[in-house]
Chains A and B, each alone.
Chain A
Amino acid sequence: MKRVVDTEGLIRLITSEFDDIDPKCITPESLLKEVIEWNSINSLVLSVVIESEYGVLLEKEDYNQIQTISQLMNYIEKKTD
Protein backbone atom coordinates (compact mmCIF):
# COMPACT_ATOMS: atom_id res chain seq x y z
CA MET A 1 0.00 0.00 0.00
CA LYS A 2 1.30 3.42 -0.92
CA ARG A 3 2.46 5.20 2.16
CA VAL A 4 2.51 8.95 2.49
CA VAL A 5 5.74 10.00 4.12
CA ASP A 6 5.51 13.24 6.04
CA THR A 7 8.58 15.43 6.09
CA GLU A 8 8.54 16.16 9.80
CA GLY A 9 8.23 12.48 10.68
CA LEU A 10 11.18 11.55 8.47
CA ILE A 11 13.34 14.37 9.84
CA ARG A 12 12.40 13.39 13.40
CA LEU A 13 13.37 9.79 12.65
CA ILE A 14 16.76 10.79 11.29
CA THR A 15 17.56 13.23 14.09
CA SER A 16 16.54 10.71 16.76
CA GLU A 17 19.16 8.30 15.47
CA PHE A 18 21.93 10.80 14.71
CA ASP A 19 22.06 12.81 17.91
CA ASP A 20 24.47 15.48 16.71
CA ILE A 21 22.03 16.94 14.15
CA ASP A 22 19.90 20.00 14.87
CA PRO A 23 16.40 19.32 13.43
CA LYS A 24 15.86 23.05 12.88
CA CYS A 25 18.67 23.11 10.33
CA ILE A 26 17.05 20.47 8.13
CA THR A 27 14.62 21.20 5.30
CA PRO A 28 13.27 18.87 2.57
CA GLU A 29 15.95 20.26 0.28
CA SER A 30 18.83 19.56 2.70
CA LEU A 31 21.46 17.27 1.22
CA LEU A 32 21.59 13.94 3.04
CA LYS A 33 25.36 13.81 2.83
CA GLU A 34 25.58 17.20 4.52
CA VAL A 35 23.09 16.28 7.21
CA ILE A 36 24.71 12.93 8.00
CA GLU A 37 28.44 12.37 7.97
CA TRP A 38 28.57 9.84 5.16
CA ASN A 39 30.42 6.62 5.94
CA SER A 40 29.71 2.89 5.89
CA ILE A 41 28.35 2.85 9.44
CA ASN A 42 26.00 5.80 9.01
CA SER A 43 24.63 4.51 5.71
CA LEU A 44 23.84 1.22 7.47
CA VAL A 45 22.23 3.09 10.37
CA LEU A 46 20.08 5.10 7.95
CA SER A 47 19.05 1.91 6.12
CA VAL A 48 18.04 0.22 9.38
CA VAL A 49 15.95 3.14 10.67
CA ILE A 50 14.19 3.58 7.31
CA GLU A 51 13.51 -0.16 7.15
CA SER A 52 12.15 -0.35 10.70
CA GLU A 53 9.83 2.61 10.19
CA TYR A 54 8.69 2.11 6.60
CA GLY A 55 9.66 -1.50 5.73
CA VAL A 56 11.69 -0.19 2.77
CA LEU A 57 15.30 -1.21 2.24
CA LEU A 58 17.51 1.28 0.41
CA GLU A 59 19.16 -0.46 -2.54
CA LYS A 60 22.89 0.06 -2.77
CA GLU A 61 22.66 1.22 -6.40
CA ASP A 62 19.99 3.80 -5.45
CA TYR A 63 22.09 5.46 -2.74
CA ASN A 64 23.80 7.81 -5.16
CA GLN A 65 20.53 9.01 -6.71
CA ILE A 66 19.03 9.95 -3.36
CA GLN A 67 20.60 13.30 -2.61
CA THR A 68 18.03 15.23 -0.59
CA ILE A 69 15.53 14.51 2.18
CA SER A 70 12.62 15.02 -0.25
CA GLN A 71 14.16 12.59 -2.75
CA LEU A 72 14.42 10.07 0.09
CA MET A 73 10.71 10.67 0.86
CA ASN A 74 9.77 10.08 -2.77
CA TYR A 75 11.90 6.93 -2.88
CA ILE A 76 10.14 5.47 0.17
CA GLU A 77 6.70 6.40 -1.21
CA LYS A 78 7.53 4.78 -4.56
CA LYS A 79 8.79 1.60 -2.90
CA THR A 80 5.65 1.25 -0.80
CA ASP A 81 3.41 1.90 -3.81
Chain B
Amino acid sequence: MVEIRLAGIAAAVPETKVLMEQLPFPTSKHKDQFTRHVGVSEKRFSNNLLTAGDLCLSAATQLLTELQWDSSSVGVLVLITQSPDRLMPSTAINLQEKLGLPHSCLAFDINLGCSGWVYGISVVSSLMQTQGIKRGLVLAGETSVLTSEDYLGYFPLMGDAGTAAALELSKDIEPMHFQFYSDGSRFQAIHAPNSGARHFADGGIESGLKYKAQMDAAQVLRFCLHDVVPNIQSFMEKHQADTENVDHFVFHQANQLINESMRKKLNIPVGKFPYSIGQFGNTSSASIPLTIVTQLNEQLASKQTLLCSGFGVGLSMAHVLLKTEHVKCLPLIEVKLPVR
Protein backbone atom coordinates (compact mmCIF):
# COMPACT_ATOMS: atom_id res chain seq x y z
CA MET B 1 0.00 0.00 0.00
CA VAL B 2 1.17 3.53 -0.68
CA GLU B 3 2.01 5.25 2.59
CA ILE B 4 1.47 8.78 3.87
CA ARG B 5 4.19 11.30 4.60
CA LEU B 6 3.98 14.40 6.79
CA ALA B 7 5.24 16.99 4.29
CA GLY B 8 4.82 20.15 6.35
CA ILE B 9 3.39 21.68 9.49
CA ALA B 10 2.50 25.19 10.64
CA ALA B 11 0.85 26.85 13.64
CA ALA B 12 -0.77 30.26 14.08
CA VAL B 13 -1.64 32.01 17.35
CA PRO B 14 -3.16 35.41 18.16
CA GLU B 15 -0.41 37.99 18.63
CA THR B 16 -1.98 39.09 21.92
CA LYS B 17 -0.55 37.47 25.04
CA VAL B 18 -2.41 37.07 28.30
CA LEU B 19 -0.08 36.84 31.31
CA MET B 20 -1.32 35.00 34.37
CA GLU B 21 -0.69 38.23 36.35
CA GLN B 22 -3.52 39.83 34.38
CA LEU B 23 -6.12 37.25 35.46
CA PRO B 24 -8.27 37.64 38.56
CA PHE B 25 -6.78 34.93 40.78
CA PRO B 26 -7.99 35.33 44.39
CA THR B 27 -4.40 35.92 45.59
CA SER B 28 -0.97 36.22 43.98
CA LYS B 29 -0.01 33.03 45.83
CA HIS B 30 -2.84 31.21 44.07
CA LYS B 31 -1.53 32.52 40.75
CA ASP B 32 2.02 31.35 41.60
CA GLN B 33 0.71 27.91 42.53
CA PHE B 34 -1.17 27.74 39.24
CA THR B 35 1.93 28.63 37.21
CA ARG B 36 4.20 26.32 39.19
CA HIS B 37 2.00 23.24 39.08
CA VAL B 38 -0.28 23.60 36.06
CA GLY B 39 2.64 25.08 34.15
CA VAL B 40 1.04 28.03 32.33
CA SER B 41 2.88 31.38 32.49
CA GLU B 42 1.13 33.00 29.55
CA LYS B 43 -1.26 32.10 26.77
CA ARG B 44 -2.63 33.56 23.55
CA PHE B 45 -6.18 34.84 23.49
CA SER B 46 -8.25 35.92 20.51
CA ASN B 47 -10.85 37.60 22.71
CA ASN B 48 -13.53 36.41 20.26
CA LEU B 49 -12.01 38.53 17.47
CA LEU B 50 -10.55 35.56 15.57
CA THR B 51 -11.99 32.06 15.22
CA ALA B 52 -10.22 28.71 15.14
CA GLY B 53 -11.03 28.70 11.41
CA ASP B 54 -9.25 32.06 10.95
CA LEU B 55 -6.12 30.84 12.75
CA CYS B 56 -6.09 27.57 10.79
CA LEU B 57 -6.54 29.56 7.56
CA SER B 58 -3.40 31.62 8.32
CA ALA B 59 -1.42 28.46 9.07
CA ALA B 60 -2.68 26.60 5.98
CA THR B 61 -2.18 29.54 3.58
CA GLN B 62 1.45 29.99 4.57
CA LEU B 63 2.08 26.25 4.58
CA LEU B 64 0.78 25.83 1.00
CA THR B 65 2.99 28.74 -0.12
CA GLU B 66 6.11 27.37 1.58
CA LEU B 67 5.53 23.88 0.19
CA GLN B 68 4.84 25.40 -3.25
CA TRP B 69 1.71 23.32 -3.44
CA ASP B 70 -0.86 24.55 -5.92
CA SER B 71 -4.14 24.79 -4.01
CA SER B 72 -5.86 22.84 -6.81
CA SER B 73 -3.72 19.81 -5.87
CA VAL B 74 -5.30 19.38 -2.40
CA GLY B 75 -8.04 16.75 -2.45
CA VAL B 76 -9.11 16.55 1.20
CA LEU B 77 -9.42 19.08 4.02
CA VAL B 78 -10.47 18.19 7.55
CA LEU B 79 -10.81 20.67 10.42
CA ILE B 80 -10.70 19.37 13.99
CA THR B 81 -12.41 21.85 16.30
CA GLN B 82 -14.98 22.26 19.05
CA SER B 83 -15.27 25.98 18.34
CA PRO B 84 -16.45 26.06 14.69
CA ASP B 85 -17.47 29.33 13.04
CA ARG B 86 -21.07 28.06 13.00
CA LEU B 87 -22.85 24.84 13.99
CA MET B 88 -23.78 24.62 10.31
CA PRO B 89 -22.24 24.32 7.81
CA SER B 90 -18.89 22.71 8.63
CA THR B 91 -16.20 25.40 8.85
CA ALA B 92 -13.93 23.18 6.71
CA ILE B 93 -16.23 23.90 3.74
CA ASN B 94 -15.82 27.68 4.25
CA LEU B 95 -12.08 27.07 4.28
CA GLN B 96 -12.27 25.17 0.94
CA GLU B 97 -13.34 28.45 -0.63
CA LYS B 98 -10.94 30.67 1.34
CA LEU B 99 -7.96 28.45 0.49
CA GLY B 100 -9.00 28.14 -3.16
CA LEU B 101 -9.22 24.35 -3.03
CA PRO B 102 -11.05 22.58 -5.88
CA HIS B 103 -14.76 21.69 -5.68
CA SER B 104 -13.76 18.02 -5.90
CA CYS B 105 -12.12 18.37 -2.45
CA LEU B 106 -13.66 16.47 0.48
CA ALA B 107 -14.14 18.97 3.32
CA PHE B 108 -15.70 18.44 6.73
CA ASP B 109 -15.23 19.13 10.45
CA ILE B 110 -14.52 16.59 13.15
CA ASN B 111 -15.81 17.45 16.63
CA LEU B 112 -12.98 16.29 18.87
CA GLY B 113 -10.76 18.06 21.40
CA CYS B 114 -7.52 16.95 23.03
CA SER B 115 -7.30 13.64 21.12
CA GLY B 116 -8.40 15.18 17.81
CA TRP B 117 -5.15 15.81 15.93
CA VAL B 118 -4.24 12.12 15.89
CA TYR B 119 -7.75 11.21 14.69
CA GLY B 120 -7.47 13.84 11.95
CA ILE B 121 -4.15 12.42 10.73
CA SER B 122 -5.67 8.93 10.67
CA VAL B 123 -8.91 9.92 8.90
CA VAL B 124 -7.21 12.02 6.22
CA SER B 125 -4.50 9.40 5.64
CA SER B 126 -7.12 6.66 5.21
CA LEU B 127 -9.15 8.76 2.77
CA MET B 128 -6.05 9.55 0.75
CA GLN B 129 -5.05 5.88 0.57
CA THR B 130 -8.49 4.54 -0.32
CA GLN B 131 -9.47 7.36 -2.71
CA GLY B 132 -6.03 7.81 -4.27
CA ILE B 133 -5.84 11.47 -3.18
CA LYS B 134 -2.29 12.79 -3.51
CA ARG B 135 -2.41 15.68 -1.06
CA GLY B 136 -4.43 16.50 2.05
CA LEU B 137 -4.64 19.01 4.88
CA VAL B 138 -5.38 18.36 8.55
CA LEU B 139 -6.32 21.56 10.35
CA ALA B 140 -6.71 21.57 14.14
CA GLY B 141 -7.68 24.65 16.09
CA GLU B 142 -9.53 25.98 19.09
CA THR B 143 -10.48 29.30 20.56
CA SER B 144 -11.67 29.45 24.14
CA VAL B 145 -15.29 30.40 23.41
CA LEU B 146 -16.53 27.54 25.58
CA THR B 147 -14.49 28.58 28.62
CA SER B 148 -15.97 31.03 31.05
CA GLU B 149 -13.73 33.83 32.29
CA ASP B 150 -15.34 33.40 35.71
CA TYR B 151 -14.22 29.80 35.92
CA LEU B 152 -10.73 29.90 37.37
CA GLY B 153 -10.21 26.16 37.24
CA TYR B 154 -10.34 26.24 33.48
CA PHE B 155 -10.02 29.68 31.86
CA PRO B 156 -6.33 30.39 32.70
CA LEU B 157 -5.45 26.94 31.33
CA MET B 158 -6.98 27.20 27.86
CA GLY B 159 -5.18 28.97 25.00
CA ASP B 160 -6.09 29.75 21.39
CA ALA B 161 -4.26 28.35 18.36
CA GLY B 162 -4.84 27.07 14.83
CA THR B 163 -2.58 24.61 13.01
CA ALA B 164 -2.16 22.96 9.63
CA ALA B 165 -0.45 19.68 8.72
CA ALA B 166 0.15 18.77 5.08
CA LEU B 167 0.07 15.08 4.10
CA GLU B 168 1.08 13.48 0.80
CA LEU B 169 1.17 10.00 -0.68
CA SER B 170 4.67 8.54 -0.55
CA LYS B 171 6.35 5.28 -1.49
CA ASP B 172 9.46 5.98 0.55
CA ILE B 173 8.24 6.16 4.13
CA GLU B 174 7.38 3.62 6.79
CA PRO B 175 3.68 3.26 7.65
CA MET B 176 2.16 5.19 10.54
CA HIS B 177 0.68 3.14 13.39
CA PHE B 178 -2.36 4.21 15.37
CA GLN B 179 -4.30 3.17 18.47
CA PHE B 180 -7.67 4.60 19.56
CA TYR B 181 -9.95 4.56 22.62
CA SER B 182 -13.39 6.03 23.38
CA ASP B 183 -15.39 5.91 26.63
CA GLY B 184 -18.71 7.75 26.51
CA SER B 185 -19.68 6.63 30.03
CA ARG B 186 -17.37 9.31 31.45
CA PHE B 187 -18.44 12.17 29.15
CA GLN B 188 -19.17 14.42 32.12
CA ALA B 189 -15.48 14.58 33.07
CA ILE B 190 -15.10 17.40 30.53
CA HIS B 191 -18.24 18.72 28.88
CA ALA B 192 -20.27 21.77 27.96
CA PRO B 193 -23.64 20.55 29.28
CA ASN B 194 -26.01 23.03 27.63
CA SER B 195 -24.18 23.52 24.37
CA GLY B 196 -26.38 21.49 22.02
CA ALA B 197 -29.72 19.91 21.20
CA ARG B 198 -29.69 17.55 24.21
CA HIS B 199 -30.36 20.53 26.46
CA PHE B 200 -33.60 21.34 24.61
CA ALA B 201 -34.60 17.68 24.21
CA ASP B 202 -34.31 17.34 27.99
CA GLY B 203 -36.70 20.25 28.44
CA GLY B 204 -34.17 23.05 28.88
CA ILE B 205 -35.54 26.43 27.96
CA GLU B 206 -32.61 28.76 28.49
CA SER B 207 -30.63 29.19 25.34
CA GLY B 208 -27.14 30.40 24.76
CA LEU B 209 -26.33 31.47 28.29
CA LYS B 210 -25.17 28.43 30.19
CA TYR B 211 -23.28 26.56 27.51
CA LYS B 212 -19.77 26.89 28.93
CA ALA B 213 -17.49 23.92 29.57
CA GLN B 214 -16.87 22.24 32.92
CA MET B 215 -14.10 19.94 34.01
CA ASP B 216 -13.84 17.42 36.83
CA ALA B 217 -10.11 17.46 37.52
CA ALA B 218 -10.17 14.30 39.69
CA GLN B 219 -11.81 12.26 36.91
CA VAL B 220 -9.43 13.66 34.30
CA LEU B 221 -6.48 12.74 36.52
CA ARG B 222 -7.81 9.19 36.94
CA PHE B 223 -8.26 8.86 33.15
CA CYS B 224 -4.74 10.13 32.37
CA LEU B 225 -2.89 8.04 34.96
CA HIS B 226 -4.95 4.85 35.06
CA ASP B 227 -6.26 4.59 31.47
CA VAL B 228 -4.03 6.61 29.13
CA VAL B 229 -0.67 5.53 30.59
CA PRO B 230 -1.37 1.74 30.33
CA ASN B 231 -2.87 2.27 26.87
CA ILE B 232 0.32 3.99 25.69
CA GLN B 233 2.38 1.18 27.27
CA SER B 234 0.41 -1.45 25.30
CA PHE B 235 0.75 0.63 22.11
CA MET B 236 4.52 0.88 22.58
CA GLU B 237 4.85 -2.85 23.24
CA LYS B 238 2.76 -3.72 20.18
CA HIS B 239 5.02 -1.68 17.89
CA GLN B 240 8.35 -2.29 19.66
CA ALA B 241 8.61 1.41 20.47
CA ASP B 242 10.64 2.34 23.51
CA THR B 243 12.30 5.35 25.09
CA GLU B 244 15.48 4.55 23.10
CA ASN B 245 14.11 4.27 19.56
CA VAL B 246 11.52 7.07 19.80
CA ASP B 247 13.14 10.50 19.44
CA HIS B 248 10.30 12.64 20.81
CA PHE B 249 7.15 11.91 22.76
CA VAL B 250 4.78 14.73 21.81
CA PHE B 251 1.84 14.61 24.20
CA HIS B 252 -1.28 16.72 24.37
CA GLN B 253 -0.48 19.64 26.70
CA ALA B 254 -3.13 18.88 29.32
CA ASN B 255 -1.59 20.25 32.49
CA GLN B 256 2.08 20.11 33.49
CA LEU B 257 1.40 18.32 36.76
CA ILE B 258 -0.52 15.53 35.00
CA ASN B 259 1.86 15.35 32.01
CA GLU B 260 4.91 15.09 34.29
CA SER B 261 3.26 12.32 36.27
CA MET B 262 2.57 10.46 32.99
CA ARG B 263 6.14 11.03 31.80
CA LYS B 264 7.59 9.57 35.00
CA LYS B 265 5.31 6.50 34.86
CA LEU B 266 6.41 5.87 31.26
CA ASN B 267 10.10 6.50 32.12
CA ILE B 268 10.43 9.03 29.30
CA PRO B 269 13.57 11.20 29.62
CA VAL B 270 12.91 14.94 30.12
CA GLY B 271 14.78 15.80 26.90
CA LYS B 272 12.39 13.67 24.81
CA PHE B 273 9.22 15.18 26.23
CA PRO B 274 8.68 18.70 24.83
CA TYR B 275 6.31 21.22 26.41
CA SER B 276 4.57 24.26 24.95
CA ILE B 277 2.04 24.70 27.78
CA GLY B 278 4.17 27.37 29.50
CA GLN B 279 3.81 29.90 26.68
CA PHE B 280 0.52 28.79 25.10
CA GLY B 281 -1.56 26.94 27.71
CA ASN B 282 -3.69 23.94 26.78
CA THR B 283 -4.76 24.48 23.17
CA SER B 284 -6.90 21.33 22.85
CA SER B 285 -6.50 19.61 19.45
CA ALA B 286 -3.86 22.17 18.38
CA SER B 287 -1.50 21.31 21.23
CA ILE B 288 0.46 18.49 19.52
CA PRO B 289 1.16 20.34 16.23
CA LEU B 290 1.82 23.59 18.17
CA THR B 291 4.37 21.76 20.34
CA ILE B 292 6.03 20.29 17.23
CA VAL B 293 6.24 23.73 15.56
CA THR B 294 7.55 25.61 18.60
CA GLN B 295 9.78 22.95 20.19
CA LEU B 296 10.95 20.60 17.41
CA ASN B 297 11.32 22.95 14.46
CA GLU B 298 15.01 22.24 13.82
CA GLN B 299 14.88 18.53 14.60
CA LEU B 300 12.23 17.91 11.93
CA ALA B 301 14.73 18.70 9.17
CA SER B 302 16.34 15.29 9.82
CA LYS B 303 14.84 11.79 10.21
CA GLN B 304 12.84 11.47 13.42
CA THR B 305 10.53 9.00 15.10
CA LEU B 306 7.68 10.68 16.97
CA LEU B 307 5.12 9.17 19.29
CA CYS B 308 2.21 11.61 19.52
CA SER B 309 -0.58 11.06 22.02
CA GLY B 310 -3.80 13.03 22.43
CA PHE B 311 -6.16 12.37 25.36
CA GLY B 312 -9.04 14.13 27.09
CA VAL B 313 -12.57 15.30 26.31
CA GLY B 314 -14.83 12.42 25.26
CA LEU B 315 -13.34 10.66 27.02
CA SER B 316 -11.18 9.91 24.04
CA MET B 317 -7.56 9.17 23.26
CA ALA B 318 -5.40 8.30 20.26
CA HIS B 319 -1.70 7.67 19.69
CA VAL B 320 0.35 7.65 16.51
CA LEU B 321 3.85 6.39 15.83
CA LEU B 322 5.14 8.56 13.05
CA LYS B 323 8.41 8.52 11.08
CA THR B 324 9.28 11.91 9.68
CA GLU B 325 11.86 13.07 7.16
CA HIS B 326 12.50 16.54 5.71
CA VAL B 327 9.30 18.00 7.13
CA LYS B 328 8.81 21.66 6.20
CA CYS B 329 8.22 23.12 9.65
CA LEU B 330 7.29 26.81 9.51
CA PRO B 331 8.20 29.28 12.26
CA LEU B 332 5.30 30.21 14.54
CA ILE B 333 2.84 32.57 12.84
CA GLU B 334 1.47 35.41 14.98
CA VAL B 335 -1.82 36.89 13.82
CA LYS B 336 -2.83 40.46 14.69
CA LEU B 337 -6.27 40.81 16.19
CA PRO B 338 -8.55 42.76 13.86
CA VAL B 339 -9.76 46.14 15.12
CA ARG B 340 -13.47 45.94 15.63
Contact = CB atoms under 8 A, between A and B. Distances in A.
Nearest to B154: A40
Interface stretch (A27-35, A42-50, A72-80): A42-50
Nearest to A62: B218
A59 interface: yes
B38 A57 contact: no
Contacts of A51: 221, 225, 261
A51 B258 CA distance: 11
Given A41-B33, A44-B257, A58-B218, 11 more contacts: A37-B29, A39-B33, A43-B217, A43-B218, A45-B37, A47-B218, A51-B225, A57-B218, A57-B221, A59-B218, A60-B219
A45 B222 contact: no
B21 interface: no
Contact of B217 (A37, A44, A59): A44
Interface string B301-338: 00000000000000000000000000000000000000
Contacts of A43: 217-218
A46 to B, nearest CB: 11
A57 B226 contact: yes
Contact of A48 (B26, B226, B258): B258
A42 B32 CA distance: 12
Given A40-B217, A41-B30, A52-B261, A57 B225 contact: yes
Nearest to A20: B29
A58 B261 CA distance: 15
Interface of B: 26, 29-30, 33-34, 37-38, 152-153, 216-219, 221-222, 225-226, 255, 257-258, 261, 264-265
Nearest to A52: B261
B226 A41 contact: no
Given A40-B153, A41-B37, A57-B226, A48 B30 contact: no
A41 B39 CA distance: 11
Interface residues of A, number: 16
B33 A47 contact: no
A48 B38 CA distance: 12
Dominant secondary structure of chain B at its interface with chain A: helix
Nearest to A63: B218
A45 B256 CA distance: 11
B257 A39 contact: no
Given A48-B258, A60-B216, A42 B221 contact: no
A39 B225 CA distance: 21
Contacts of B222: 57
B81 to A, nearest CB: 27
A41 B264 CA distance: 20
Contacts of A48: 221, 257-258, 261
Contacts of A41: 30, 33-34, 37-38
B254 to A, nearest CB: 11
A10 to B, nearest CB: 18
Given A44-B217, A44-B257, A52 B264 contact: yes
Between B30, B216, B218, B258, the greatest number of chain A beta carbons within 10 A of the residue's beta carbon is seen for: B218
Contacts of B226: 57
Contacts of B216: 60
28 contacts: A37-B29, A39-B26, A39-B30, A39-B33, A40-B153, A40-B217, A41-B33, A41-B37, A41-B38, A42-B33, A43-B218, A44-B217, A44-B218, A44-B221, A45-B33, A45-B37, A47-B221, A48-B221, A48-B257, A48-B258, A48-B261, A51-B221, A52-B261, A52-B265, A57-B225, A58-B218, A59-B218, A60-B216
Contacts of A58: 218
Nearest to B217: A44
A51 B2 CA distance: 44
Contacts of B33: 39, 41-42, 45
